[in-house]
């Protein structure tokens, strides 16, 4: 029976909420999200170089998918796991279905690459093969090769005296077959393309936007590496290794040592994918698969175009403003702009501040909060969680400044933030050397919360200030991710954060009571389930039940079941879910009261909002947690209520704008597919993200107008005196 037939069969019947047919697969719905990302590259309304960016994002996303998700599934298969997921699939079945979808995505990606290269050519941005260069251009690139690339190359022979070499993760490699002129014996050699050595993947020739691939330059200068030999063929390949190498905590005496070992293990981890150029011979393909220990039919992917398309970020970054979205410069928050006073005075006297990035500046809000805390003589202590940060972020420097200024500084560093382990180990050591208290959270739990906690001696005693957000303290992603945050000095939240940081720095969990925060793993899931059930109960008494969630993923089965029950009770449920979503909307008798929307745009949607109508006494929450089992049960997350009515109005605006978006929104159907919404009026041509850019500007302009008007009144009053 087809999936659509199963859905039709379900309608009009009693539903068993444990039935696999009611749940979509996590991996397949994440791949479906990548179809939507790919569509942004296919959409002619997207500026050309940003279409290239979306093409490269797909390449990067699929690399990570194989490293994390396929890698994990292969480990399960290797361990003999046959347990079915909630959607009724074994690990092996998931791999098979995912590979089928991936091959279709790759075919579409390749078609898009060809279209974009043609369009780039019309804009005089050309990516050409070495053989397309004229004599002068070849001489220029050959000279560059001899001076800048040749010394970096290390050809490795493969024969009984030279075993098959180690192939590092995501490296580009050339398999070169050579022979002597008077001999038929073929020698096989591997040459690693030395990317990451300061040479771009796409090498520019001359002053114009003419580019040739790094590996193509090497392939056409092999005579320098193999003099007096015949080059039979030269073929490109690339491997992807499993990123799931974490050891259990009881296997290591020291957490830092464990993580460093895991990083080394990842480099040598098992192969989960082999990509080969479309011209590679079947014998060489089979040889590589055998040497790498993978299935030549299922784990080998032919790439007819540019391999490692993630590197197309280089092309997408070309400075041609007319080929990009209009440049967005984050604005100062309207309450923090201009010559505003001490930020702590603003929060204390005027109330909590709601932040929306990247529309409002991370630098002049969150970084300012830390900067002023680091030098304010009244600030006694700073505590924060650090999941990811960047080398260009000022966050680390402000923490160092605070310590040097005699303040007590404590940082909870998450060493297991995947793909940032090495950077976080570096930062942890750097901070410890400066005398900062560094801890690594709670054994067995990732610390994923986004919190800065400041204790200040105000005129009326100690007061606690905080930033609680949905995004990392990372200056780079703050310009690319759509996140929100709260600056507050709420007394109860301050009490809760004192408890939270004691929990994090002690490393174990005695019973703690929280007044307002919903932290995981102990409280958040129960808090969400209780509020869903409350909406059901209130709606049953004739009230207008309404639940609205904005999250990156909805994967947790218990929350999904509770939302199904809410829909069956008549409660309306709006879900803005960026990628993975297990729930099927629109099934009569089960989920006809549920709408699922996904927003895709120039910024990555990353914030989390949880709203409950609560019989008119509305509740809004924001925080770091997605609705995934790992976030709710295996991580330390922080979700906070947003209680001031003006700030609730701002959150209401975000939800309303995104739910009415018809430019960047996709609506999920009952079978798990998505339909792109289409504008029906001129005003609907503007995406939600574009509207947020405009709204941030309007708020700031209005604040400046009022400030100017207030200043004029003061001047007039002085003149009258």
**In degrees to the nearest 10, what's the CA dihedral of 520, 521, 527, 528?**
80
**Nearest-angstrom CA–CA distance, 595 and 573:** 6
Asked if 527 and 518 touch (Cβ cutoff 8 Å), the reply is yes
CA-nearest of 309, 129, 96, 156 to 220 is: 129
Beta pairing, strands 437-439 & 271-277: unpaired
Q: Residues with Cβ < 8 Å from 647, sequence gap 6 or more?
A: 352, 354, 486, 620
In sequence order, what E strands does 195-285 have? 202-204, 209-213, 229-241, 271-277
Per-position b or e across 267-301, b if 16+ CB within 10 A of its CB: eebebbbbbbbeebeeebbebbbeebebeeeebbb
Q: In angstroms, what CA-CA distances link 33 with 368, 480, 666?
A: 35, 18, 10
Question: Residue 140: in which H helix or E strand, if any?
Answer: helix 135-144
CA-nearest of 80, 78, 101 to 26 is: 101
Q: DSSP per residue over 663-684, as a string?
A: SSEEEE-TTS-EEE----SGGG
Alpha-helical regions (H) of 212-355: 214-219, 222-225, 255-267, 282-292, 313-316, 343-350
Residue 458, SS3? strand
Q: Helix and strand tally (H, E) in the chain?
A: 21, 27
The catalytically annotated residue of 209, 448, 467, 606 is 448
**Nearest-angstrom CA–CA distance, 538 and 546:** 10
Look up 448 and say whether it is catalytic.
yes
Count Cβ atoms within 10 A of the Cβ of residue 720 and give its class: 0-12 exposed, 13-18 middle, 19 or more buried.
exposed
The residues assigned a catalytic role are 448
């Amino acid at each position: 029976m087809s999936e659509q037939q199963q859905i039709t069969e379900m309608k009009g019947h009693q539903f068993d909420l444990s039935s696999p047919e009611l749940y979509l697969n996590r991996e397949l719905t994440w791949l479906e999200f990548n179809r939507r990302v790919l569509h942004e590259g296919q959409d002619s309304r997207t500026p050309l170089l940003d279409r290239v960016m979306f093409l490269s994002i797909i390449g990067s996303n699929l690399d990570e998918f194989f490293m994390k998700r396929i890698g994990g599934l292969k480990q399960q298969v290797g361990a003999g796991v046959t347990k079915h997921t909630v959607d009724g699939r074994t690990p092996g079945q998931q791999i098979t279905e995912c590979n089928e979808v991936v091959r279709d995505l790759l075919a579409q990606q390749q078609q898009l690459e060809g279209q974009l290269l043609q369009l780039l050519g019309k804009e005089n941005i050309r990516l050409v093969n070495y053989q397309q260069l004229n004599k002068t251009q070849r001489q220029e690139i050959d000279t560059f090769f001899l001076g800048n690339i040749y010394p970096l190359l290390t050809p490795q022979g493969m024969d009984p005296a030279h075993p098959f070499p180690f192939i590092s993760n995501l490296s580009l490699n050339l398999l070169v077959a050579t022979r002597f002129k008077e001999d038929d014996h073929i020698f096989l050699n591997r040459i690693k393309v030395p990317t990451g050595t300061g040479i771009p993947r796409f090498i520019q020739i001359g002053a114009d936007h003419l580019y040739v691939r790094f590996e193509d330059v090497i392939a056409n200068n092999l005579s320098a590496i193999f003099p007096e030999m015949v080059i039979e063929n030269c073929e490109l390949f690339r491997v992807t290794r499993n990123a799931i190498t974490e050891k259990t905590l009881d296997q290591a005496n020291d957490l830092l040592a464990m993580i460093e070992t895991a990083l080394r293990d990842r480099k040598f981890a098992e192969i989960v994918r082999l990509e080969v150029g479309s011209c590679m011979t079947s014998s060489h393909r089979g040889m590589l698969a055998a040497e790498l220990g993978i299935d030549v039919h299922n784990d080998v992917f032919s790439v007819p175009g540019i391999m490692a398309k993630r590197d197309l970020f280089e092309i997408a970054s070309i400075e041609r403003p007319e080929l990009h979205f209009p440049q967005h410069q984050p604005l100062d928050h309207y309450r923090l702009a201009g010559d505003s006073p001490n930020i702590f005075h603003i929060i204390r006297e005027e109330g909590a501040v709601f932040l929306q990035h990247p529309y409002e500046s991370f630098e002049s809000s969150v970084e300012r909060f830390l900067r002023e805390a680091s030098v304010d003589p009244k600030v006694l202590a700073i505590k924060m969680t650090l999941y990811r940060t960047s080398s260009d972020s000022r966050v680390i420097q402000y923490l160092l400044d605070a310590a040097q200024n005699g303040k007590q500084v404590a940082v909870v560093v998450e060493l297991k933030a995947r793909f940032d382990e090495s950077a976080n180990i570096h930062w942890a050591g750097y901070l410890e050397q400066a005398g900062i208290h560094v801890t690594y959270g709670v054994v067995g739990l990732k610390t994923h919360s986004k919190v800065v906690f400041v204790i200040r001696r105000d005129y009326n005693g100690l007061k606690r200030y905080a930033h609680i957000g949905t995004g990392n303290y990372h200056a780079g992603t703050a310009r690319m991710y759509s996140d929100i945050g709260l600056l507050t000095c709420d007394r109860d939240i301050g009490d809760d954060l004192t408890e939270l940081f004691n929990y994090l720095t002690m490393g174990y969990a005695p019973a703690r009571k929280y007044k307002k925060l919903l932290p995981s793993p102990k409280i958040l899931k129960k808090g969400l389930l209780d509020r869903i059930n409350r909406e059901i109960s209130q709606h049953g008494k004739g009230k207008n039940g309404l639940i609205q969630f904005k999250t990156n993923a909805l994967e947790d089965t218990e929350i999904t079941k509770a939302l199904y029950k809410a829909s069956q009770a008549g409660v309306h449920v709006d879900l803005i879910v960026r990628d993975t979503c297990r729930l099927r909307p629109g099934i009569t008798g089960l989920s006809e009261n549920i709408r699922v929307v996904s927003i895709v745009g120039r910024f990555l949607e990353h914030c989390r909002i949880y709203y409950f109508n609560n019989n008119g006494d509305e509740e809004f929450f924001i925080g770091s947690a997605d609705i995934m089992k790992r976030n709710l049960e295996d991580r330390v997350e922080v979700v906070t209520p947003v209680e001031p009515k003006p700030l609730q109005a701002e959150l209401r605006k975000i939800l309303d704008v995104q739910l009415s978006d018809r430019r960047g929104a996709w609506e999920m159907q009952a079978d798990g597919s998505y339909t792109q919404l289409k504008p029906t009026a001129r005003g609907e041509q503007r995406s939600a993200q574009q509207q947020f850019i405009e709204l941030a500007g309007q708020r700031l302009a209005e604040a400046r107008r009022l400030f100017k008007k207030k200043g004029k009144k003061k001047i007039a009053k002085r003149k009258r005196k």
